[in-house]
Amino acid sequence: MILRNRKQQSRERDLSQEPLRPETPFFAVGDVHGCDRLLDRLLNRLDKMRHPEALLVMVGDYVDRGEETSRVLRRIRVLSEGAGDLMHCIMGNHEKMLLDTLDDPVANGPRWLRHGGLQTLASYRVPPVLGQRPEAEWLEMRDRLAEALGDATIAWLRGLPLTWQTGNVVVVHAGADPALPIADQERGNFLWGHPDFRRTPRADGLWVVHGHTITEAPKVDQGRIPTDTGAYATGVLSAALVEEEGVTYVSA
């Protein structure tokens, strides 16, 4: 089963990789995709685990596909702004598509709507543009969405980093080119992944925590720590507790 409660947690360690050496333990929460009720349940479960030293890291893709994007963004932004260095949020490709639509709705809006933007618009009660419509209608949709999001949320989204690192563990949204140092990666690798990421292990001893790719039963594999269990499709949202002792998966 995908669901793992506190009695079913799985602690894993990849013995072929350099030992995990995060400077601080942390929970990495997988792709939320507009599933606020699942996020609430998972955060409550993590809180009950009573691990006061563990930070909270969100791997991106907070928006689209699920029906509660507006609530998810409000919750995560308020939590992150109040938590300071105890919580870190990175950008996913769906946040990038939303921002690209705000910047140029005519060029980028159709693609975003095909990949989950319709649900985000619905959560903000903004009517979508469907089919081949005049530019003015796309601009009106953009303006209504920007007003519904608000300047503070848009600024927060634009300020999201692409990576977060502690010790020899880096968190990205989709992946990275295993042949290049993290500092030398193209931005698109972090947002959309790299063709070699899942088939070639890194040679620098760096562990990579990621979301983006749905996995039914997340498992540590050659230094990769997946977190996305497809919340919007499966009804299961997962997190990975990463610490020197290994990786523990927890789901709600």
Q: Which of 9, 65, 56 is nearest to 32 (CA)?
A: 65
Mean pLDDT of 78-105: 97
Q: At 208, phi and psi to the nearest 5?
A: -125, 115
For residue 131, give both structure tokens: 């089919």
- Could you give the CA distance from residue 56 to residue 84 in angstroms, rounded to a whole number? 11
Confidence (pTM): 0.93
Q: pLDDT of 6-55, one tens digit each?
A: 333 455 666 567 899 999 999 999 999 999 999 999 999 999 999 999 99
Q: pLDDT of 101-157, one tens digit each?
A: 999 999 999 999 999 999 999 999 999 998 889 999 999 999 999 999 999 999 999
For residue 169, give both structure tokens: 């563990």
Residue 12's pLDDT is 63
CATH class in words for 6-91+161-251: alpha beta
Residue 132's pLDDT is 86
Q: pLDDT of 149-189, one tens digit each?
A: 999 999 999 999 999 999 999 999 999 999 999 999 999 99
Domain borders along the chain are: 6-91+161-251, 93-159
Residue 15's pLDDT is 53
